[in-house]
Amino acid sequence: MSTEVKETAAPEQGTERRINMIEAINEALDITMSRDDDIVIMGEDVGYFGGVFRCTAGLQEKYGKSRVFDTPISECGIIAAAVGMGAYGLRPVPEIQFADYIYPGLDQLISEAARLRYRSAGEYIAPMTVRSPFGGGIFGGQTHSQSPEAIFAHVSGLKTVIPATPYDAKGLLISCIEDNDPVIFFEPKRIYNGPFSGYYDKPVQPWKKFEASIVPEGYYKIPLGKARLATEGEELTILAYGTMVHVVEAVCAEKGVEADILDLRTIVPLDIEAIEESVKKTGRCLIVHEATRTAGFGAELSALVTERCFYHLEAPIERVTGFDTPYPHSLEWAYFPGPIRIGEALDKILSE
Amino acid sequence: MADRPPSEGDRAAGKAGDNRPALSLHVPEPKFRPGDTVDFSHIDVPEAGAQARPDEACDPHQMQDLAFGLVRVLGEDNKAHGPWDPKLDPETLRTMLGHMAMTRAFDERMFRGQRQGKTSFYMKCTGEEATSVSASMALAADDMVFPSYRQQGILIQRGYPMIEMINQIYSNKGDKLKGRQLPIMYSSREHSFFSISGNLATQTPQAVGWAMASAIKGDSRIAATWVGEGSTAEGDFHSACLFAAVYNAPVILNVVNNQWAISSFSGFAGAERSTFAARGVGYGIASLRVDGNDPLACYAAELWAANRARANAGPTLIEFFSYRAEGHSTSDDPSGYRSAQEREEWPLGDPVMRLKNHLIELGEWDEERQEKMDLEAAEHVKKVTKEAEANGILGHGLHHPFRTMFEDVFEELPWHLKEQSEQAIRERETKFPGGLDL
Task: Provide the shortest C-alpha distance from residue A273 to chain B (in Å).
Answer: 10
Interface contact B242-A72, CB threshold 8 A:
yes
B183-212 per-position pLDDT tens digit: 999 999 999 999 999 999 999 999 999 999
Query: Which has the closest alpha carbon to B418: B163, B182, A326, B426?
Result: B426
Q: Closest partner residue to A117 among B202, B207, B408, by Cβ?
A: B408
Q: What is the pLDDT of residue B428?
A: 85
CA distance B53 to A110: 42
Query: Which has the closest alpha carbon to A124: B181, B418, B124?
Result: B181
Q: Is the pLDDT of residue B13 over 90?
A: no
Q: Closest partner residue to B410 among A90, A108, A157, by Cβ?
A: A157
Return the percentage of chain A with pLDDT > 70, whole number: 96
Q: Name every chain B residue with its beta carbon within 8 A of the beta carbon of A181.
A: 410-411
Mean pLDDT, chain B, whole residue set: 95
Strand blocks (E) in chain A: 39-43, 68-70, 91-95, 129-134, 159-161, 183-188, 228-231, 236-240, 259-263, 266-268, 285-292, 318-322
CA distance B408 to A272: 21
Q: What is the pLDDT of residue B403?
A: 86
Q: Is the pLDDT of residue A83 over 80?
A: yes
Q: For an interface test with A, which of B194, B197, B206 has the most A Cβ atoms less than 10 Å from its Cβ?
A: B206
Q: Is the pLDDT of residue A176 over 70?
A: yes
CA distance A332 to B214: 46
Q: What is the pLDDT of residue B307?
A: 98
Angle at A30 between CA A26 and CA A35, to 5 degrees: 150
Angle at B362 between CA B361 and CA B368, to 5 degrees: 65
Task: Tell me which residues of chain A, numbers 272 to 291, contact chain B at a CB-CB cutoff of 8 Å.
Answer: 272
A114: amino acid identity, one letter = A
B334 close to B326: Cβ distance less than 8 angstroms? yes
pTM of the entire predicted model: 0.96
Q: Name every chain A residue with its beta carbon within 8 A of the beta carbon of B147.
A: none
DSSP H or E stretch at residue A29: helix A21-35
DSSP letter for each residue of B277-316 = HHHHHHHT-EEEEEETT-HHHHHHHHHHHHHHHHTT---E
Q: How far is CA B23 from CA A195, A237, B2, B9, in A?
A: 57, 64, 17, 16
B334-383 per-position pLDDT tens digit: 999 999 999 999 999 999 999 999 999 999 999 999 999 999 999 999 99
Q: Name every chain A residue with its beta carbon within 8 A of the beta carbon of B240.
A: 77, 80
Task: Tell me which residues of chain A, numbers 39 to 98, contact chain B at a CB-CB cutoff of 8 Å.
Answer: 40, 66-67, 71-72, 74, 76-77, 80-85, 87-90, 92
Please state the rounded mean pLDDT for residues A16-25: 96
CA distance A137 to A349: 26
Mean pLDDT, chain A, whole residue set: 95
Query: A277, exposed or middle or buried, with CB in 10 Å at 0-12, 13-18, 19+?
Result: middle
A170: amino acid identity, one letter = K
CA atoms within 13 A on the CB side of B197: 29
Spell out a b/e string for B359-393, using b for 16 or more CB atoms within 10 Å of the CB, else e. Answer: beeeeebeeeebeebbeebbeebeebbeebbebbb
Q: What is the pLDDT of residue B436?
A: 61
Q: Closest partner residue to A121 among B178, B216, B246, by Cβ?
A: B178
Per-residue confidence band for B244, with pLDDT thresholds at 50, 70 and 90: very high
Q: What is the pLDDT of residue B398?
A: 79
DSSP H stretches of helix in B171-220: 203-216
Q: Name every chain A residue with its beta carbon within 8 A of the beta carbon of B187.
A: 119-121, 123-124
Q: Name every chain A residue with its beta carbon within 8 A of the beta carbon of B416.
A: 269-270, 272
Residue B396 is given by DSSP the state S
Q: Is the pLDDT of residue B14 over 90?
A: no
Interface contact A118-B180, CB threshold 8 A:
yes
Q: What is the pLDDT of residue B399?
A: 82
Query: Which has the closest alpha carbon to B417: B408, B426, B428?
Result: B408
Q: What is the pLDDT of residue B408?
A: 98
Q: Is the pLDDT of residue A7 over 50?
A: no
B243 close to B212: Cβ distance less than 8 angstroms? yes
Task: Provide the shortest C-alpha distance from residue B103 to chain A (in Å).
Answer: 23
Query: B332, exposed or middle or buried, with CB in 10 Å at 0-12, 13-18, 19+?
Result: middle
Q: Is the dihedral of CA B396, B400, B406, B408 positive or negative?
A: negative
Per-residue confidence band for B401, with pLDDT thresholds at 50, 70 and 90: confident
DSSP H stretches of helix in B150-251: 152-157, 162-170, 203-216, 235-246
Per-residue confidence band for A5, with pLDDT thresholds at 50, 70 and 90: very low
Task: Provide the shortest C-alpha distance from residue A188 to chain B (in Å).
Answer: 25
Q: Is the pLDDT of residue B1 over 60?
A: no
Interface contact B195-A88, CB threshold 8 A:
no
Query: B3, exposed or middle or buried, with CB in 10 Å at 0-12, 13-18, 19+?
Result: exposed
CA distance B44 to B63: 19
Please state the rounded mean pLDDT for residues A47-64: 98
Nearest residue of B to residue A125, measured between CA atoms: B411
Angle at B58 between CA B70 and CA B272, to 5 degrees: 35
A138-171 per-position pLDDT tens digit: 999 999 999 999 999 999 999 999 999 999 999 9
CA distance A189 to A163: 11
Q: Is the pLDDT of residue A196 over 70?
A: yes
B162: amino acid identity, one letter = M
Q: Closest partner residue to B210 among A76, A88, A156, by Cβ?
A: A88
Residue B4 is given by DSSP the state P
Query: Which has the closest alpha carbon to A291: A328, A261, A237, A327?
Result: A327
Task: Provide the shortest C-alpha distance from residue A286 to chain B (in Å).
Answer: 22
Q: How far is CA B80 from CA A12, B83, B134, B371, in A?
A: 72, 10, 15, 23
Q: Name every chain B residue with its beta carbon within 8 A of the beta carbon of A107.
A: 199, 202, 236
Query: Which has the closest alpha carbon to B142: B33, B55, B77, B224?
Result: B224
Our answer to whether residue A246 is catalytic in this structure is no
Nearest residue of B to residue A64, measured between CA atoms: B216
Q: Name every chain A residue with its beta carbon within 8 A of the beta carbon of B223.
A: 84
Q: What is the pLDDT of residue B5?
A: 67
Task: Provide the shortest C-alpha distance from residue A12 to chain B (in Å).
Answer: 32
DSSP letter for each residue of B5-49 = PPPHHHHHTT-SSS-PPPP-------S--TTPPP--TTS--PPTT
Query: Which has the closest alpha carbon to B46: B70, B76, B68?
Result: B70
Q: For an interface test with A, which of B180, B187, B212, B404 has the most A Cβ atoms less than 10 Å from its Cβ?
A: B212
Task: Provide the shortest C-alpha distance from residue A233 to chain B (in Å).
Answer: 27
User: Cα(first)–Cα(last) distance of chain A, in Å?
Assistant: 55
Q: Count of A–B CB contacts within 8 Å? A: 144
Query: Which has the closest alpha carbon to B321: B294, B285, B286?
Result: B294
CA distance B263 to B275: 20
Please state the rounded mean pLDDT for residues B231-240: 98
Q: Is the pLDDT of residue A230 over 70?
A: yes
Task: Provide the shortest C-alpha distance from residue A60 to chain B (in Å).
Answer: 14
Q: Is the pLDDT of residue A14 over 60?
A: no
Q: What is the pLDDT of residue B305?
A: 98
The single residue of A144, A154, A312, A329 carrying the catalytic annotation is A144
Task: Provide the shortest C-alpha distance from residue B307 to chain A (in Å).
Answer: 21
User: Cα(first)–Cα(last) distance of chain B, in Å?
Assistant: 58
Q: Is the pLDDT of residue A12 over 70?
A: no
Interface contact A81-B411, CB threshold 8 A:
no
Spell out a b/e string for B105-143, using b for 16 or more CB atoms within 10 Å of the CB, else e. Answer: bbbebbbebbeeebbeebbbbbbbbbbbbbbbbbbeeeb
CA atoms within 13 A on the CB side of A291: 22
Phi, psi angle pair for A320, to nearest 5°: -115, 120
Q: Name every chain A residue with its beta carbon within 8 A of the beta carbon of B180.
A: 118-119, 121
DSSP three-state, residue A18: strand
Q: For an interface test with A, which of B193, B252, B408 has the most A Cβ atoms less than 10 Å from its Cβ?
A: B408
B17-55 per-position pLDDT tens digit: 678 999 999 999 999 999 999 999 999 999 999 999 999
Interface contact B246-A74, CB threshold 8 A:
no
Interface contact B209-A111, CB threshold 8 A:
no
Q: For an interface test with A, which of B241, B409, B410 has the most A Cβ atoms less than 10 Å from its Cβ?
A: B410
Tell me the sheet residues that pair with A261.
A231, A238
CA atoms within 13 A on the CB side of B52: 12
CA atoms within 13 A on the CB side of B276: 29
Task: Tell me which residues of chain A, numbers 113 to 172, contact chain B at a CB-CB cutoff of 8 Å.
Answer: 115-125, 156-157, 159
